[in-house]
Amino acid sequence: MDETVKKYLNELKKMGIEYQILEHPQLISVEKVQEYLGYGMADAGATLLMKADEKFVAIIRRGDTKLDNNKVKIFLGVENLGMATEEEFAKITGVPSGAASVYIKGLPTYIDKKVFEKKYINAGSGSLLVTLRYKTSDLKKIPGVKIVDFTEIKSDEKISKTIIGKKRILSGITPSGDGSLHIGNYLGAVRQFIELAKNNECFLFVADIHALTTVQKREELEKNIETLILNELSLLGDLTNITFFRQSDVPMHTELQSILNNVTSLGLIKRAHAYKDKLQKNQTEEDINMGLFNYPILMAADILLYKTDMVPVGRDQKQHIEITRDIADSFNKTFNKKIFKLPEPFIPQEVAVVLGTDGKRKMSKSLGNIISIFDDEAVIKKQVMSTYTDPTRKHATDPGHIEGNMVFTYLDFFGEKKRVEELKGLYKEGKVGDVEVKNFLFETLMKYFAPARARYQELKSNPQQVKKILIEGAEKAREVARATMVEVREAVGLTNQYSFFKY
Ligand code: TYM
């Protein structure tokens, strides 16, 4: 056990705070630590180092709760509130990012009330290898500690699972269909990506080479790419921690794919769903191009090139991440060097598969069961109005069902909680009609996506700005990709003449 932890334990003893030492391997997230220890996120305590105006404060909350920033601001009487930067964190705590202890000497400490609903809480020790199980009632002994009601229980635990340290996050979207995004893409992947981008280093790219497997008309592909770029940038808004780029602007993706081909077995790729599904849909091997067949290997290259820790995607991509892990492991073993990290998928249960407006199948452009984000209001209204509700209900006065009712499923994600609960109550009692709840969903969506829709119009009329983002993004991505390729070339025994090896 390192000295910092020993010193910390001494201080705890002096304060009379009881604890139990739980040792574990260094794991990526608080959730993984809990999983390893056999506890849930409600048993985890997270120390957030926050900057409130110019002051730093430590806020301790449970892993399954979400900080209500407004409550904190009001309580502290400050205007600005945000997480401390990595540098600030390091300077103040002197411990690795993600390892903050519950008591940080000299720092005002606030503990959220819900922590005390638990008798014990597993939280930081100053080391990523040690978690302490604190007796919560003892935490009241921390000098000057205040107990405040700062949080609400998270609606989805996984999004905000507290990630230890800054991680590299990567995701991609293919400009197939017409390149536009629907709420399934948003809930399944983009929303998690945005959440993770608040505290991590993120890469998001337009998988335009992947699109060639199905889009083989130049004008169509160009249009799709343009649409997808505008859609994604409008949703993202703030690009502070995000490198946004086009896959084809970074030729290392295809170079790495070529190398990975050689550590990937035919059997592994034959087991991939995308390929198997096509074969089942009455298509023969003659109809399947090698781009589609090799799709998982290009995707592995996309992910491994950036030494990605986590990939936020919908469940339909899970198998691809598993294949990526197999390929990475196979490469590392074959060349006897740990070049690649094995990435983790990030797939919150409740949005793993967002069902379409038909209430039956995955929301997907090709099935015509989507709700768009950037289409004209009239189009979105029509999509909302045709959403599947409760087929057993003939009149607005009949008691209605909420389960499986897609209007309420979507409202649960986007609507204001209190109002949604009220409507559910009225619906069950037959006091509100389908049209009314659908209108409410439509208004809710318009409101929710209003900032993104406004950004869309702005970016559309400002192609220079978009171009600049893409150029800068590609440069940054190439830099990271180049560094990995130097290692890869070296490991496999290919030439690595830097002067020639320029893209
Ligand atoms: P794509 O373009 O089909 O979908 C983009 C993202 O949206 C998610 N998604 C959904 N999630 C939940 N419910 C739905 N109804 C739904 N529809 C779509 C997808 O799971 C995905 O996360 N192969 C990828 C692109 C890709 C990629 C990568 C992703 C290429 N390289 C590397 C991650 C890392 C694809 O075609 O996604």
Percent of the chain with pLDDT over 90: 78
How would you classify the pairing of strands 146-148 and 109-112? parallel
Considering only CA atoms, which of 138, 155, 156 is closest in space to residue 147?
Answer: 138
365 included as an active-site residue: yes
C-alpha of residue 304 to centroid of ligand 1, in Å: 17
pLDDT tens sequence across 425-446 = 999 999 999 999 999 999 999 9
pLDDT tens sequence across 74-108 = 888 888 899 998 889 999 999 988 889 999 999 99
pLDDT, position 277: 85
| Structure token pair of residue 131 | 């978690």
Cα–Cα distance between 50 and 148 in angstroms, integer?
Answer: 15
pLDDT at residue 172 is higher than 50: yes
pLDDT at residue 158 is higher than 60: no
Closest ligand 1 atom to 308 CA: 34
Compute the Cα dihedral for 72, 74, 75, 79 and give only its sign: positive
Q: Residues 477, 245: contact at Cβ < 8 Å? A: yes
Catalytic residue among 362, 438, 460, 476: 362
Q: Give the residue, 287 or 385, on which the prediction is more confident.
A: 385
Angle at CA of residue 102, ends 96 and 107, nearest 5°: 90
Report residue 67's pLDDT band, with 50, 70 and 90 as the boundaries.
confident
CB of residue 317 inside a 6 A radius of ligand 1: yes
CB of residue 343 inside a 6 A radius of ligand 1: no
Mean pLDDT of 287-311: 96
Cα–Cα distance between 292 and 280 in angstroms, integer?
Answer: 15
CA dihedral of 307, 313, 319, 322, whole degrees rounded to 10: 20
Angle at CA of residue 195, ends 356 and 155, nearest 5°: 65
Report residue 159's pLDDT band, with 50, 70 and 90 as the boundaries.
very low
C-alpha of residue 172 to centroid of ligand 1, in Å: 7
Helix ranges (H only) for 149-246 are 183-185, 191-197, 208-211, 218-236
C-alpha of residue 313 to centroid of ligand 1, in Å: 6
Mean pLDDT of 308-336: 96
Residue 465 CB neighbour total at 10 angstroms: 12
CB of residue 362 inside a 6 A radius of ligand 1: yes
Closest ligand 1 atom to 317 CA: 20
pLDDT, position 348: 85
CB of residue 298 inside a 6 A radius of ligand 1: no
Catalytic residue among 154, 161, 167, 365: 365
**At the top level of CATH, which class does the domain 168-352+464-492 belong to?**
alpha beta
362 included as an active-site residue: yes
pLDDT at residue 157 is higher than 60: no
pLDDT tens sequence across 323-334 = 999 999 999 999
Angle at CA of residue 292, ends 288 and 296, nearest 5°: 145
Report residue 143's pLDDT band, with 50, 70 and 90 as the boundaries.
very high
pLDDT, position 198: 87
Report residue 280's pLDDT band, with 50, 70 and 90 as the boundaries.
confident
**109: β partners:** 58
Would you say the CATH fold of 365-454 matches that of 168-352+464-492?
no
pLDDT, position 501: 58
pLDDT, position 142: 95
Mutational test site, ligand 1, from 174, 323, 355, max ligand atoms within 8 Å of CB: 174
Domain layout of the chain by residue ranges: 3-156, 168-352+464-492, 365-454
* Domain 365-454 falls under CATH 3.40.50.10470: no
| Structure token pair of residue 464 | 């220079």
- Calculate the alpha carbon distances from 342 to 32, 327, 463 in Å: 15, 9, 37
Strand, coil or helix: what is 356? coil
CATH topology classification for 3-156: YbaK protein (3.90.960)
pLDDT, position 77: 86
Mean pLDDT of 18-47: 88
Report residue 26's pLDDT band, with 50, 70 and 90 as the boundaries.
confident
pLDDT, position 156: 46
C-alpha of residue 430 to centroid of ligand 1, in Å: 38
pLDDT at residue 161 is higher than 70: no
